[in-house]
């Protein structure tokens, strides 16, 4: 349960959730919780029948439920009816958080921050201790840069973006509006490019950039390499989990989800609205289509068409992979039967 300093009325909750209030008893709400943990001051939600028991027993002051729920068959209490209960619940959570988040107003710059004289600070910005901002960095309004973060020369950071502690932004990186980059992530480091000259590995200069478009969120300890010649691009609305590696020249299209420990090798493209589950590996120069789902721990070694679900190593269509798994389970019996035939047939 999360308890907030501020509270809302049921009428406010109805407007925020964008649903229809069924009022039984007036209540003031100051927390959000699961059905099991909720109390009379909590907002909760219900949409999955496997939690029916918790729903029936819940003491929540307000529960957001599907609009087609039969009210005659459930306990009499305060409800909000809506199309997508979880989405409406998240609207209320976001509202509470916004009320408690101190808006950036004025220039709040810690005295230990090192900022090059060429950098023009916007009217509203927050820069914490030991931040380093190098030459010709362009900063837009309402940015927050937390402790020990380094922004190297000629980079750009868009309005409303937030860099958490210990982030490193290499030179010439372009970051859009409302981007969140969590602790320990490194953006714009050199791509892994070497050429064997017969005696040693010669480093291939990495002179491209990283471009991160608006509304992207990047988890903790993510590395995104700069391009070799062309740019590495993370497009609008993409969300990247912790411990993800994105190599040089990759293009991650709009609204892609990359879960923890995904690794994308160089010069690959991930189509918009695709989802790569945990520990997926993508080989270099691969093109994954739009709306593709790749199951956890799969290895993508060939181009994938739009709207496919693939898994396994190498990753293939889900229907084929299921047949392969079923066939694999039969191998011990097949082996046993084969050896039996060998013993019976003297010519084998």
pLDDT digits (tens, 9 = 90+) for 314-342: 999 999 999 998 999 999 999 998 888 88
Decide the pairing of beta strands 245-246 and 107-109.
unpaired
- Compute the distance between CA of residue 146 and CA of residue 131 in angstroms, rounded to an integer: 7
pLDDT digits (tens, 9 = 90+) for 45-57: 999 999 999 999 9
Q: Please state the rounded mean pLDDT for residues 254-277.
A: 98
Q: Is the C-alpha dihedral spanning 236, 221, 89, 56 positive or negative? A: positive
Q: What is the CA radius of gyration of the chain?
A: 26
Give the CATH number for residue 43: 3.40.1390.10
Residue 343 lies in a domain: no
pLDDT digits (tens, 9 = 90+) for 240-250: 999 999 999 99
Residue 337 lies in a domain: no
Contact 66, 45 (CB under 8 A): no
Vertex 288: Cα angle to 84 and 247 (nearest 5): 105
- Looking at the structure, tell me whether residues 168 and 284 fall in a common domain: yes
- Looking at the structure, tell me whether residues 22 and 116 fall in a common domain: no
- Compute the distance between CA of residue 330 and CA of residue 341 in angstroms, rounded to an integer: 17
Q: Is the C-alpha dihedral spanning 84, 90, 96, 102 positive or negative? A: negative
pLDDT at 185 over 90: yes
Residue 333 lies in a domain: no
Assess whether 153 carries a catalytic annotation: no
At 122, the pLDDT band (50, 70, 90 cuts) reads very high
- Looking at the structure, tell me whether residues 64 and 128 fall in a common domain: no
- Looking at the structure, tell me whether residues 19 and 65 fall in a common domain: yes
Neighbours of 334 (CB within 10 A): 10
- Looking at the structure, tell me whether residues 172 and 307 fall in a common domain: yes
- Looking at the structure, tell me whether residues 294 and 265 fall in a common domain: yes
Q: Would you state the pLDDT for residue 346?
A: 62
pLDDT at 348 over 70: no
- Looking at the structure, tell me whether residues 93 and 123 fall in a common domain: no
Domain that includes residue 90, residue range: 2-100
Contact 56, 76 (CB under 8 A): no
- Looking at the structure, tell me whether residues 65 and 155 fall in a common domain: no
Residue count (the chain): 348
Residue 220 lies in a domain: yes
Considering only CA atoms, which of 122, 127, 128, 117 is closest in space to residue 140? 122
At 347, the pLDDT band (50, 70, 90 cuts) reads low
Of 74, 100, 126, the residue that ends a domain is 100
Residue 231 lies in a domain: yes
What total of structural domains would you count in the chain? Answer: 2
Of 100, 127, 151, the residue that ends a domain is 100
Q: Would you state the pLDDT for residue 316?
A: 94
Active site residue: 153, 162, 201, 248, which one?
248
Residue 334 lies in a domain: no
pLDDT digits (tens, 9 = 90+) for 132-172: 999 999 999 999 999 999 999 999 999 999 999 999 999 99
């Amino acid at each position: 349960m999360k308890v907030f300093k501020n509270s809302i009325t049921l009428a406010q909750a109805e407007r925020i959730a964008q649903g229809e209030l069924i009022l039984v008893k007036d209540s003031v709400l100051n927390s959000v919780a699961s059905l099991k943990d909720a109390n009379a001051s909590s907002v909760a939600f219900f949409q999955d029948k496997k939690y029916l028991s918790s729903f029936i027993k819940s003491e929540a002051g307000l529960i957001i439920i599907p609009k087609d729920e039969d009210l005659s068959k459930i306990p009499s209490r305060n409800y909000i009816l809506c199309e997508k209960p979880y989405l409406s619940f998240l609207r209320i959570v976001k509202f509470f958080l916004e009320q408690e988040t101190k808006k950036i107003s004025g220039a709040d710059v810690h005295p230990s921050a090192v900022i090059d004289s060429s950098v023009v600070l916007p009217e509203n910005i927050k820069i914490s201790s030991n931040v380093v901002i190098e030459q010709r960095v362009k900063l837009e309004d309402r940015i927050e840069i937390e402790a020990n973060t380094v922004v190297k020369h000629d980079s750009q950071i868009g309005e409303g973006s937030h860099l958490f502690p210990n982030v490193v932004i290499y030179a010439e990186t372009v970051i859009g509006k409302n981007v969140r980059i969590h602790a320990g992530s490194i953006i714009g480091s050199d791509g892994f490019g070497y050429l064997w000259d017969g005696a040693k590995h010669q480093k291939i200069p990495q002179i491209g950039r990283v471009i991160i478009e608006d509304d992207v969120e990047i988890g903790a300890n993510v590395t995104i390499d700069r391009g070799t010649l062309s740019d590495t691009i993370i497009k609008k609305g993409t969300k990247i989990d912790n411990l993800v590696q994105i190599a040089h020249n990759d293009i991650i299209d709009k609204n892609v989800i990359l879960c923890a420990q995904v690794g994308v090798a160089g010069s690959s493209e991930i189509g918009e609205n695709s989802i790569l589950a945990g520990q997926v590996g993508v080989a270099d120069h691969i093109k994954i289509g739009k709306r593709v789902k790749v199951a956890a721990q799969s290895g993508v070694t060939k181009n994938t068409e739009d709207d496919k679900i693939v898994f396994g190593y190498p990753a293939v269509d889900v229907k084929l992979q299921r047949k392969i798994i079923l066939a694999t389970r039969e191998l011990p019996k097949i082996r046993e039967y084969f050896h039996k035939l060998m013993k019976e047939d003297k010519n084998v």
